[in-house]
Chains A and B, each alone.
Chain A
């Protein structure tokens, strides 16, 4: 084994899997001198950083073993809280608000974490868990003095791997954020994400054999994620959070669940910040629930009721219990 590869200032950006020999897989790292991840999604930060020519030509390359060794050598911030969500449900707002807390670093839908969660049969379970911790450690290095809180908003479909993630981070509190099925589906169909566009993710992930109707695909995927959220809550303590309780729940419920006692300044800062929609910072954040429900054609309602409503109702019953 070589001496530890020093990776201060470097971020694991992509994992290039080698399916013939998994230990020959390559982690590619990009450099950042920024003190955090200011964009709505980590991938946006990566896209910005890779506009620097040096992050094209002079990326670092390591093995998975070197990634693990780096995590041993330079542990990142211990994760403070995990956010699971159904997507289109205010998760970006929640992550944005948590990012405004003192000493906070937010990983929003980190691609390399998803890549490891979906690495599946390439890795044994123990190794997958060690690497999952290692990649979170590498992404979660303190980037400024006083940075001590690390929040991770996962990709929506990672909810289905809640048990794996629990094994990797058994002590990290987690929330599952969701929203009225019709509102989620209307929003998902208006602007499809990776999981709600058929064919980008394997259907098996969601228990779908075959689904020719793209709208039904989206409803079934979202329904599976809602079910995953309920199963996560059954398996381990999970704060269930309905979109309707945002933004106040960010400081009233989530912070406490994550073991944080907020200062008056922090609450004031979050209250102020919640007046804005982080994806459209020029517009005030407002609940668009009524608009989304009213815009739903009958066919969309039917899909939401069939594939998503039962799981949603079960979540609501559990949340209110």
Chain B
């Protein structure tokens, strides 16, 4: 299953920026996931769950446009080109210096017949969006499907706001024809089949490489999701022709935790 895909759709970016100007007097609402971020993360709801349009919540049974949608001709044109059921439609703004910690949106996923599309409206080169620990570079004018049931984190390291139009849709045949949801993800290799001793020896060699190569360490150091960390460690080990198993990684981590804690106050 892929975790990202750029849709073959064209977007009138100038029209979306005009929408932002039309909305400039509106009060942006703080995101409800207060624990998940540092800095300013706010949004505007253009379409939301009926009866709950004053928050950024995106879940519900029935959805309706808010009065703000009437101000957004560019968004309406874009949505008219999507031949699938529309759920919540929001503009989400991440201020300079703000970050969203790594998390999974468990309610979102292809299995739930829902998908989230991201359309960058304003962004800058300092924005780092990591999905499954790998960066997604999204530019204005593009439409992206992202599997946000997978761990993701965002940091706006630039000097300007990052504003994405975030469109939640129901998955139907039209969308399935556009997005190869079930295609194999080359970055999610199957777990290697190696015996425990070989796995442990290969992992040891890989750890020596990580200590020696700052870039390799940097590729692994920022993920906080334990399952993803194990998968990423295995993937990067395979890239170095060092196959090892999830059990080998978990055992080594348990050993290290024990060693570290036992050393307290020595």
Contact = CB atoms under 8 A, between A and B. Distances in A.
Interface of A: 6, 13-17, 28, 31, 50-61, 111, 115, 194, 200
Interface of B: 207, 210-211, 214, 217, 220-224, 226, 229-230, 233, 249, 252-253, 256-257, 259-260, 263-266
A59 B260 CA distance: 10
Given A53-B253, A115-B266, A14 B217 contact: no
B191 to A, nearest CB: 17
Contacts of B229: 53-54, 57
Contacts of A50: 257, 260
Nearest to B224: A52
19 contacts: A6-B214, A14-B260, A14-B264, A14-B266, A15-B266, A16-B263, A16-B266, A28-B260, A51-B224, A54-B221, A54-B223, A54-B229, A57-B233, A57-B252, A58-B210, A58-B221, A59-B256, A61-B211, A200-B265
B214 A56 contact: no
The residue among B214, B249, B264, B266 with the most chain A CB atoms within 10 A of its own CB is B266
B252 to A, nearest CB: 6
A13 B259 CA distance: 12
SS of B interface (majority): helix
A31 B260 CA distance: 15
B256 A57 contact: yes
Q: Give the 4 A-B CB pairs with smallest separation, nearest first.
A: A53-B229, A54-B221, A14-B263, A58-B210
Contacts of B222: 52, 54
Contact of A31 (B221, B230, B263, B265): B221
A33 B249 CA distance: 24
Contact of B221 (A16, A52, A194, A200): A52
Given A16-B263, A200-B265, A56 B220 contact: no
Contacts of B263: 14, 16
Nearest to A114: B265
A17 B266 contact: yes
A54 to B, nearest CB: 4
